[in-house]
Amino acid sequence: MSARILDGRAVAAQIREELRAEVGSLVSRGRRPGLGVVLAGDDPASAAYVRGKTRACEELGLYSETARLPADVSTQAVLDRIADFNRRDDVHGVLVQLPLPAQVDAERAVSSVAPGKDVDGFLPENVGLLVRKRTRFAPCTPAGIMQLLARSGIAVAGRRAVVLGRSDIVGKPMAMLLLHADATVTCCHSRTPDLESVTREADVLVAAVGRPGLVTAAHVKAGAVVIDVGMNRIQDPALAERLLVPERRERFAERGEALVGDVCFPEVREVAGAITPVPGGVGPLTIAMLLHNTVRAAG
């Protein structure tokens, strides 16, 4: 029997609907939540992500403003725009869209966001609060995954969780949130020996490595919950044949490309108990939690 499909779009819609009432209450008190975004360069994927975030803000009634900077922008110019957002009372959350152009010091830029406006949850102060279970802002993707699990009736307390990936954005905070939820957590990475034997111990497996189709049925325990964080654009017909279900293969043949995760979906869904698709799984939750953090910052 195929795995239950965990619908991230539906859960994200629930979260947004709950936020709508909070936004209405804040607006009635003259405090409309505002998000400032710094977008530098001409990366098409970054521009698309920002458009999606802006549209989501508008739909929920938040104010949003994007500072668009040229590809040859200096680090100081980026810092100046962030400082402007930090000072303003109508901007409650500040987001620096990555990647920044190569000549910009990205670490310095991200670190210059005011801690109380760091709705991405990336600053050392906010990471420290997360570690101590006094979370101000949890990074949006891991926080969205926790919402998906909870709202799908999937308990993690007392269960074995394996996080595949150790990035500061997803892997490490994901492991911490699962630990806070009383899971027993293992974090794997490129140097983990005999990876399959480790991931097969997981009741909950989170894949966040950025390698299309890395996780196969051999990595997954029967009945496990598999959360696919990967967002990989493929154009190779051989990969498409392996990683796409038949209906998506037809669209691939028309378009010549497709978005896939880190999990070999057609294979793993026959083993797992529940699985997130790509697209439509984790992605919508990331934006929903960005809205959540911005509303919280304004509250």
pLDDT per residue, tens digit, the chain (299 aa), is: 699 999 999 999 999 999 999 999 999 999 999 999 999 998 888 888 899 999 999 999 999 999 999 999 999 999 999 999 999 999 999 999 999 999 999 999 999 999 999 999 999 999 999 999 999 999 999 999 999 999 999 999 999 999 999 999 999 999 999 999 999 999 999 899 999 999 999 999 999 999 999 999 999 999 999 999 999 999 999 999 999 999 999 999 999 999 999 999 999 999 999 999 999 999 999 999 999 999 999 98
User: Checking phi first, is residue 210 left (phi over 0); if not, alpha (psi -120 to 50) or beta?
Assistant: left
Q: Are strands 232-234 and 258-260 parallel, antiparallel or unpaired?
A: antiparallel
Query: Is 53 labeled as catalytic in the residue annotation?
Result: yes
| Annotation: CATH topology of 30-114 | Rossmann fold (3.40.50)
Query: Is 120 labeled as catalytic in the residue annotation?
Result: yes
User: Which is catalytic among the residues 118, 120, 228, 262?
Assistant: 120
Contacts of 8 (CB under 8 A, 6+ apart): 144, 148, 276, 280, 281, 282, 283, 284, 285
User: Which is catalytic among the residues 7, 42, 43, 53?
Assistant: 53
The helix/strand count (H/E) of the chain reads as 12, 11
User: Which is catalytic among the residues 14, 42, 84, 97?
Assistant: 97
Query: Is 103 labeled as catalytic in the residue annotation?
Result: no
Q: Where in the chain is the domain with CATH 3.40.50.10860?
A: 30-114
| Annotation: CATH topology of 139-283 | Rossmann fold (3.40.50)
d(CA 63, CA 26): 12
Q: Where in the chain is the domain with CATH 3.40.50.720?
A: 139-283
Cα pseudo-dihedral 18, 132, 276, 220, rounded to 10: -160
